[in-house]
Every structure is written in structure tokens, then in C-alpha cells.
Structure 1
Amino acid sequence: MLSLLRDNILYGMAGLRFLSGSIEIIAALLMLYYGTVQKAVQINAGLAMVGPTVLILVTSLGLIGLADKLEFWRMAVVMGGVGLILWGVRG
């Protein structure tokens, strides 16, 4: 049962990354379609929400999958690291 849960978590993590990559490719195609720097900047601004959201979701899924292997303080360190990344790149 635990193996099935881990497989589902792994597929969920990979699926979110595929979705994120697909969104990035679609955004690039939209930038080319509209053909203006103004539209490209607007599309890029929309992507600014996708990256951190995917990072948090994938990390959360990974931590859930590792919950039985990691001590609580190690999970807290990873979550703190993600928080520092998000804090460090804020505009």
C-alpha cells in the first residue's frame, strides 16, 4: 500500500512538472503570436505565479512521500529552505 502511495506521489510530482513546462511553452508561443514586447511582459508576469506555486506543490508532495523516512526537523529545514527561496526572489 505504501509503495502505491509513493508511486502516486511520484506521478503527481512529475505531472505537475509536465504541466508547468507545458504552461511555459504555451506562454512562449503566445509571446510569439502577439509579437509585442508589451504583451510578452504581461504574459511573463502571469508566469511569475506559476513557478513558485509549482515549487511549493511539488515540494509538498515530495515531503508527504518522505514523511515516514524523514524526521520532523529535517522536513522543517526543507520547508524553511523553500520559504527562503521564495523570500529571496520576491520583487
Structure 2
Amino acid sequence: MLQIFDKIVLGMAGMRLLSASVELTAALLMLKYNNVAVAFKINSVLAMVGPMILVTVTSIGLFGLMGRLPWSGMLIIILGVLLIFIGMSKL
């Protein structure tokens, strides 16, 4: 039986699978090079990729909820994501 997925859900899941692939590849590269300096550089790149994935997946989800979620609910979600970034920048 062929299961049909919602395009929005498929996009969100696809981005998360891409993110997982990047993370796994980074871990394998760290093991391959077996060097703390190289592993640190790879980890730094991951620190940039993670937030981009978060924003992309959240944006896709919000796009999918347009019309079903009141504007106040969307605003609260967007503010929540912004608060995550503000909190992370204070570390």
C-alpha cells in the first residue's frame, strides 16, 4: 500500500533527514581525522547549520498552518523562535 504524505510534512521531515545526514557525516569526519582541532572546526560548522535548519523547518510548518492558525498564534510561535535565538546568544 502506497502512503501519501502531506507536502508540508514531507518537506519538514526531509529537512530533518538532511540535518541528520549532515550531523552523521560530521561525526564520521571527526572520527576519520582523529584530531581535536579539526573536530572543533567541524563542530563549529554544525553550530551554524543547526539554527538554519530550525528556522527552515519552523517556516515550512508555519506556511502549512497558514489559514488554520490565528495570527496571534503564529506571532507567538515566531516570538518563541526568536526567544530561543536570543537565549542562545546570551550564553
So what's the TM-score if we normalise by structure 1? Answer: 0.90
* Partner of residue 42, structure 1: 41
Any gaps of 5 or more consecutive residues in structure 1? none
Q: Distance in 2 between matches of 1:40 and 1:87?
A: 26
Any gaps of 5 or more consecutive residues in structure 2? none
Q: Distance in 1 between matches of 2:87 and 2:48?
A: 15
* Partner of residue 17, structure 1: 16
Among the aligned pairs, what percent are the same residue?
Answer: 49
Q: CA deviation at 1:89?
A: 1.0
**How many positions carry a matched residue from both structures?**
87
* Partner of residue 78, structure 1: 77
Q: Is it true that 1:87 corresponds to 2:86 in the alignment?
A: yes
SS at match of 2:83: helix
RMSD over aligned CA atoms reads 1.5
SS at match of 1:75: helix
* Partner of residue 53, structure 1: 52
Q: CA deviation at 1:23?
A: 0.1
SS at match of 2:67: coil
Q: CA deviation at 1:68?
A: 1.4
Structure with bigger helix share is 1
* Partner of residue 6, structure 2: 7
Q: Which amino acid aligns with 2:55?
A: I
Q: Distance in 2 between matches of 1:40 and 1:89?
A: 22
